[in-house]
Structure 1
Amino acid sequence: MSLTEKRKRAPSLPQVEPDLLDQGITQLSLEIKTLQDWIADIDSSDAEPRRSYEDMLRSRREMLAALQQQKANLSNTANH
């Protein structure tokens, strides 16, 4: 394969099993719900734990969005 052909070729992403994606999405959704509950129960004077839980929540939401996008891309690839 020539260098030009390699550049034109779309980068290949590692293939992830759809079941594994579903499990990850389910797990992250549960963790997000748990973190939301914890944040709701934290006393307003506990700023440090609140900030920590909010950081964890933000991180989980980003991971969830990435997995959902990967699942959508996998579905689109399978349909073509």
Structure 2
Amino acid sequence: MNKKSDAILSLDKSLIEEGTAQLNSEISVLESWLEELDAADKHDNDASAARKSYTDMLQSRREMLTTLNSQSKP
């Protein structure tokens, strides 16, 4: 490979690592928020709406992480 190809691969690897770290961080925060909501009143409409929203966001982040991991493999 030439220097330009090596630089692009290095940049791609760096971006993948940063993206993975960011998604893992967001997943951790969302899981924490959901744990807090589990302690809330199950009949609280605001808590129920937040729980649904956070669950959807968590699923989305996990799907993005899976896709990112599959794309980063040779």
Matches of 1:62 and 1:49, distance apart in 2:
20
Name the amino acid aligned to 2:24: S
Matches of 1:32 and 1:65, distance apart in 2:
12
Distance apart, 1:17 and its partner CA:
0.6
Distance apart, 1:23 and its partner CA:
0.4
Matches of 1:20 and 1:28, distance apart in 2:
12
Distance apart, 1:50 and its partner CA:
0.1
Name stretches of at least 5 consecutive residues in structure 1 with no aligned partner.
Answer: 1-14
Match of 2:5 in 1: none
More helix by share: 2
| TM-score of the superposed pair, with normalisation by structure 1 | 0.68
Q: CA RMSD in A?
A: 1.5
Name stretches of at least 5 consecutive residues in structure 2 with no aligned partner.
Answer: 1-8
Match of 1:29 in 2: 24
Moved segments of 4+, more than 6 Å: none
Using CA pairs below 8 Å that are at least 6 residues apart, which structure has the higher relative contact order? 2
Distance apart, 1:40 and its partner CA:
0.4
Match of 2:57 in 1: 56
Is the aligned partner of 1:39 residue 2:39?
Answer: no
| Number of matched pairs | 59
